[in-house]
Structure 1
């Protein structure tokens, strides 16, 4: 445990289960709104909630050294904004399960990013878990693993791109955490991500007047979508993140690893039971293989005393 107090494994399980509900809100929104619109509104909602913390966070940013400022910009623009756009776009192809569960690959990408960016070596046994996990991801992404269709490949690549960006953001976040408090990193993440998404909309059509019109259109989401956007920002977003870190403070690492299984379990229940997705036998095999291997990777890393990279939710990354 990292703090005294009662074991809160149950709180970690609840928080990660809330992450698994992401598709319940994001998929209907992705089918009715452009991905950039969804992400802009997400960031706007969270940034408004974090307004009281903005002065503190930006004072910390101003005091930081150049490398930490650069890391904050990468985390806010790349991890918070662009990765979430890719993730949301993946849902537009109609699969509510694969984009979420593929985020379990973040520890694999994070270890690779740590090796490339921070020169941290791979722990013994890394490939024994990573390679089967990648095989599981392949089986999960395609109903027939020997016949790859564009309609299945594109959302899988979008989801993997998001996972890779979020994993890189976790590595840069570790750099930031040496100088800034977690709440400051989170606040900077969203307050930098918000203008980044707005800039994407502004420059998308190559014309400033058209770009301003794009931003206006993005904010005019209609009352029918307001509830979904609020629920997306709060349930698998800030609320889940807050409960997760509260739970981790007094939960042994090994138990937390098992508690995090509620994330893919909930994602499968939501996708199959609520949203009506059908998985083939090989996809279920891939699902189980991916979850087991990533759980084993986390267990292996924690057993060796190294801080494993946690899977980040679609919104609340910080």
Structure 2
């Protein structure tokens, strides 16, 4: 892939992630958010695994087991950390801290570990995007800052940033479909005990099946496949910043589908988010070389 296509694939993945909030709002009332997250991974992992088996291109030769386990653990940790943070400190603060901290963590990890200093364009676009995200959620509800919730949100941001960086090393050597299939299957296995903790009777209803399939196939399986495909030619820090299109999409869907109301401040935040993502999307930043992206297996 050449040009801007990899960045657009990541942007499309983020847009699909942005549908999760609207989908969850349509889920049965008895569905717990953490249970929905675990179901999402289980359905997504199964869908991806079936795709790999149907295509028949999976190859275990030279597979980095340690790196794969690390990526799977990061994705498995992200789900409960994010949902717990949101439940403890609220949707506004939890979302802003988790999603807003991920690009910063990603840039710092690249800078410290890979010795790749983020460009000025990345700093400008990331600042605008995070500021836009903050303004988008600032008036959603009364602000309640809980230290434990903040720590969990930061943990979620670090988990997503780490997953992106580690996955990038995997897609350099294996097909994107194989990578996400293995990673999400292992992540689903890690979170499988959650399915026995919460009431899962909702999944047998018509809405429950629809929500599970949409979240698992579209917002997880296809979305992360596109994300992994784009990661081959896009740095992890750039990819994480582009993923801020997720709250942008969620906010717009909330307005046009769920009938939610946004304040002037929130609309201004959307403009800043679009501006930040647009700057990064159309920048001509060179992708790091494979040598720079090599990790200890």
TM-score (norm 2): 0.69
Residue number in structure 2 paired with 1:272: 255
Distance 1:294 1:8 in 2: 14
The answer to whether the aligner puts 1:86 opposite 2:84 as a matched pair is: no
2:97–2:153: 8 Å Cα contact kept in structure 1?
no
- For residues 248-278 of structure 1, the C-alpha deviation after alignment (integer angstroms, 9 at most, x for no partner) is 99xxxxxxxxx99986654232112322333
Structure 1 stretches lacking a partner, 5+ long: 202-213, 250-258, 308-318
The answer to whether the aligner puts 1:73 opposite 2:56 as a matched pair is: no
Taking structure 1 as reference, are residues 136 and 8 closer, same or farther at Cα in structure 2, changes over 3 Å only?
closer
1:101–1:264: 8 Å Cα contact kept in structure 2?
no
- For residues 144-164 of structure 1, the C-alpha deviation after alignment (integer angstroms, 9 at most, x for no partner) is 99x84349x988876664343
Equivalent pairs counted in the alignment come to: 273
Distance 1:144 1:40 in 2: 26
- Alignment equivalent of 2:20, drawn from 6, 12, 22: 22
The alpha carbon displacement at 1:235 in A equals 2.6
- Alignment equivalent of 1:237, drawn from 176, 200, 220: 220
- Alignment equivalent of 2:169, drawn from 150, 167, 175: 175
Distance 1:142 1:189 in 2: 34
Taking structure 1 as reference, are residues 176 and 291 closer, same or farther at Cα in structure 2, changes over 3 Å only?
same
Taking structure 1 as reference, are residues 59 and 84 closer, same or farther at Cα in structure 2, changes over 3 Å only?
same
The answer to whether the aligner puts 1:305 opposite 2:286 as a matched pair is: yes
Distance 1:13 1:134 in 2: 16
Instruction: Answer with 85-94 or 160-169: which moved more.
Output: 85-94
> C-alpha root-mean-square deviation of aligned residues, in Å?
4.4
Taking structure 1 as reference, are residues 86 and 29 closer, same or farther at Cα in structure 2, changes over 3 Å only?
farther
Residue number in structure 2 paired with 1:59: 60
- Alignment equivalent of 1:166, drawn from 154, 157, 160: 160
Distance 2:82 2:217 in 1: 17
1:136–1:285: 8 Å Cα contact kept in structure 2?
yes
1:115-130 superposed matches below 5 A? 115-130=111-126
The alpha carbon displacement at 1:45 in A equals 1.6
Residue number in structure 2 paired with 1:142: 138
Distance 2:8 2:84 in 1: 32
The alpha carbon displacement at 1:186 in A equals 0.6
Instruction: Answer with 262-271 or 164-173: which moved more.
Output: 262-271
1:107-122 superposed matches below 5 A? 107-122=103-118
TM-score (norm 1): 0.66
- For residues 170-197 of structure 1, the C-alpha deviation after alignment (integer angstroms, 9 at most, x for no partner) is 1111222233221221111111101211
The alpha carbon displacement at 1:215 in A equals 1.6
1:126–1:297: 8 Å Cα contact kept in structure 2?
yes
Taking structure 1 as reference, are residues 133 and 270 closer, same or farther at Cα in structure 2, changes over 3 Å only?
closer
Structure 2 stretches lacking a partner, 5+ long: 233-241, 289-297
Distance 1:35 1:117 in 2: 34
2:40–2:220: 8 Å Cα contact kept in structure 1?
no
The alpha carbon displacement at 1:222 in A equals 4.0
- Report the 3-state secondary structure (helix = DSSP H, G, I; strand = E; otherwise coil) of the residue aligned with 2:260: coil
Residue number in structure 2 paired with 1:190: 184
Residue number in structure 1 paired with 2:2: 2
Instruction: Answer with 28-37 or 182-191: which moved more.
Output: 28-37
